[in-house]
Amino acid sequence: QDALDSIYDTNGTIIGISEEELLRYTAKFKELEKVKFSTEQGYAIAGFMKEVEKDNISNGNHVIILNNGRVDLNVRKVDISELDMTIDELIDTLDEWMMEYTDPRYEIKEAIQSAFQNGFVIMAFYNNDLAGITVIIHTGFEVFIPTYHLGYIATKKSIKGRGIATQLLAKAIETANGKISLHVERNNNRAIKLYEKMGFEKSYLRMIYNNK
């Protein structure tokens, strides 16, 4: 699923490679570039060479990723004392990463402050750089509604589609001992797909009174 998400994020294409094509294209690439690589890495190169042969690759420099595109992450709960940024900078980051699904700054701030006080915040780090954030709020209930509520989850735009949100959500579910709820925009199909994959089910329609 993570591989499919990566393809979706980058407007990529799935390229089928037969054993015969693998041998032929990798042999040709080795002859041209004088490099060595494993059979597993050869599939990416063979796919590239196949597209070149079909004239689907434009002239210029290209990067071939010789792995499955996933990243090694450090995903952990973070206390406010561990932050290397201000709350305002954290709000800015969430606001940017959530894009069209963001909320007003004062709402994000209230959620973050509540999470650090009574809930928890989980962050994902890649090469010590912040790559994802999850803000979990304590509802104050144990039975009436789930104890925790997922306020926000967002990942760095440049590395979306690599399973970071999945790992953040898995850590949140584990930390909350499964007692967690969330709400999501009805048109955010990508997020809904992730939540359902992780075991969330549609339970009720959330309605908010609008006194206009």
pTM: 0.67
Amino acid 11: pLDDT: 56
134 and 177 within one domain: yes
| Domain of residue 187, residue span | 74-197
Amino acid 67: pLDDT: 56
Amino acid 173: pLDDT: 95
- The average confidence (pLDDT) of the chain is 85
- Would residue 64 count as lying in a domain? no
39 and 6 within one domain: yes
Amino acid 169: pLDDT: 94
Amino acid 69: pLDDT: 47
159 and 103 within one domain: yes
Pick the more confident residue, 196 or 18.
Answer: 196
Q: What is the C-alpha to C-alpha distance for residues 148 and 135, in angstroms, rounded to an integer?
A: 10
Give me the mean pLDDT over the 178-206 stretch.
91
Non-local (6+) Cβ contacts of 182 within 8 A are: 149, 150, 195, 200
Spacing of C-alpha 61 from chain mean position: 27
Q: What is the C-alpha to C-alpha distance for residues 167 and 140, in angstroms, rounded to an integer?
A: 25
Give me the mean pLDDT over the 49-60 stretch.
82
> pLDDT band at 126, cuts 50/70/90?
confident
